[in-house]
């Protein structure tokens, strides 16, 4: 089995847990190589191991791109929701084949002929979300249409479109619903809307979400997961599900509800005990 290992935080390269992980895969008969700036991912890789937190997992999605190599998240970081596994439980389970593969929806941003050259050449796929956010003092008007059907203009700091995977990330902070990862939906949510009567909207992941802005400032921030660009407010963007998935390895015994309770303390209540 050929295993690519990606450690974004190189200050951990001598960490005993990291070295132990590589050593155990190697001792198990795997051919292990480390992804670095000058070592790209090889197409015949069987498993891509992302070592770090969720930020590293998002970067791993960019490196793997559309190759559909299964990605296993190992947490050496902080929260580790996407990369929920510990170095101690992964090797034996992977070598014993005790895992399944989840097909996680990715978003694709399409700018048509609008936007700068820099914007149009940026990697347009997101695992968590795509956002537009004010870059100046003035509120944004965000015009959104779902499959050509316009919604009332949002007056807000910005707007995000999230996947099911992203429902536990930024979307959660703006009052979005938590969505089981296998749900084929997208979340459209204003960021700090100046209205009493708007709510996050859940749409099928077959939708095409068109977005344009009314703004007094000249620039807005566009973020695609953990990457951001300052772009002109005359941006016109269509967001839809990408034509490929992120294939995430789920070890036997791991599940979404367990991650919600152990990582985000879902339902933590003195009456529920520990
Ligand atoms: P960061 O601001 O350093 O960290 C964001 C936090 O969100 C980290 O604790 C990260 O986990 C966690 N996280 C990322 N994806 C998650 C997911 N799908 N489910 C649950 N938690 C998740 O930024 P970053 O590490 O570069 O990650 C970029 C992401 O941060 C963006 O995609 C966005 O979703 C999120 N973000 C959230 C807010 C907010 O909630 N107000 C604001 C900006 C960005 P780890 O600790 O394991 O890395």
Would the pLDDT of 115 be above 80? Answer: no
* Averaged confidence pLDDT in the chain: 95
Q: What is the pLDDT of residue 199?
A: 94
Closest residue by CA, ligand 1 atom 6: 169
Q: What is the pLDDT of residue 78?
A: 85
Nearest to 84 by CA among 269, 246, 248: 248
**Backbone conformation region of residue 89, classed left if phi is above 0, alpha if psi is from -120 to 50, else beta:** alpha
Task: Identify whether the C-beta of residue 189 lies closer than 8 Å to the C-beta of residue 176.
Answer: yes
Would the pLDDT of 274 be above 70? Answer: no
Query: Of ligand 1's atoms, which has the minimum distance to the CA of residue 172?
Result: 40
Q: How far is CA 251 from the centre of its chain?
A: 19
Q: What is the pLDDT of residue 121?
A: 87
Q: What is the pLDDT of residue 272?
A: 85
Q: What's the CA-to-centroid distance between 20 and ligand 1, angstroms?
A: 27
Answer yes or no: same fold for 2-98+252-272 and 107-243. Answer: no
Closest residue by CA, ligand 1 atom 32: 225
Q: What is the pLDDT of residue 252?
A: 94
In CATH, the number for domain 107-243 is 2.60.200.30
Q: What is the pLDDT of residue 118?
A: 87
Q: What is the pLDDT of residue 152?
A: 96
Which member of 15, 38, 46, 54 is catalytic? 54
Residues sharing a CB contact under 8 Å with residue 77, sequence separation 6 or more, in sequence order = 9, 52, 53, 54, 55, 56, 83
Any catalytic annotation for residue 143?
Answer: no
- CATH topology (fold) of 2-98+252-272: Rossmann fold (3.40.50)
| Residue ranges covered by each domain of the chain | 2-98+252-272, 107-243
Would the pLDDT of 18 be above 70? Answer: yes
**Ligand 1 pocket, 73 CB below 6 A?**
no
Would the pLDDT of 175 be above 80? Answer: yes
**Ligand 1 pocket, 258 CB below 6 A?**
no
pTM exceeds 0.95? yes
Token representation of residue 15:
């960490």
**Ligand 1 pocket, 98 CB below 6 A?**
no
**Ligand 1 pocket, 79 CB below 6 A?**
yes
Residue range 132-154, pLDDT digits in tens: 999 999 999 999 999 999 999 99
Residue range 24-49, pLDDT digits in tens: 999 999 999 999 999 999 999 999 99
Residues sharing a CB contact under 8 Å with residue 125, sequence separation 6 or more, in sequence order = 61, 62, 65, 106, 107, 108, 109, 224, 242
Q: What is the pLDDT of residue 117?
A: 85
Q: What is the pLDDT of residue 72?
A: 98
């Amino acid at each position: 089995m050929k295993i690519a290992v990606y450690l974004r935080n190189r200050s951990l390269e001598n960490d005993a847990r990291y070295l132990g992980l590589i050593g155990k895969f190697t001792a198990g008969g795997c051919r292990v190589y480390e992804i670095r700036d000058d070592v790209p991912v090889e197409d015949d890789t069987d498993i891509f191991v992302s070592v770090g937190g969720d930020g590293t997992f998002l970067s791993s999605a960019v490196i793997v791109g559309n190759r559909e190599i299964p990605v296993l998240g190992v947490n050496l970081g902080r929260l580790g929701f996407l990369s929920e596994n510990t170095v101690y439980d992964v090797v034996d389970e992977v070598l014993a084949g005790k895992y399944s593969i989840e097909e996680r929806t990715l978003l694709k941003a399409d700018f048509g002929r609008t936007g700068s050259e820099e914007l149009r050449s940026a990697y347009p796929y997101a695992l968590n979300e795509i956002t537009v956010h004010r870059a100046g003092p003035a509120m944004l008007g965000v015009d959104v249409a779902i499959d050509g059907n316009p919604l009332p203009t949002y007056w807000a700091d910005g707007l995000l479109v999230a996947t099911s995977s992203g429902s536990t990330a930024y979307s959660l902070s703006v009052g979005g619903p938590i969505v089981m990862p296998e749900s084929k939906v997208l979340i459209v949510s204003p960021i700090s809307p100046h209205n009493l009567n708007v709510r996050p909207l859940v749409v099928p992941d077959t939708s095409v979400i068109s977005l344009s802005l009314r703004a007094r400032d000249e620039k807005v921030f566009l973020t695609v997961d953990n990457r951001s660009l300052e772009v002109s407010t005359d941006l016109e963007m269509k967001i839809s599900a990408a034509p490929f998935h992120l294939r995430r390895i789920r070890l036997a015994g791991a599940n979404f509800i367990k991650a919600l309770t152990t990582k985000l303390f879902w339902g933590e209540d003195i009456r529920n005990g520990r």
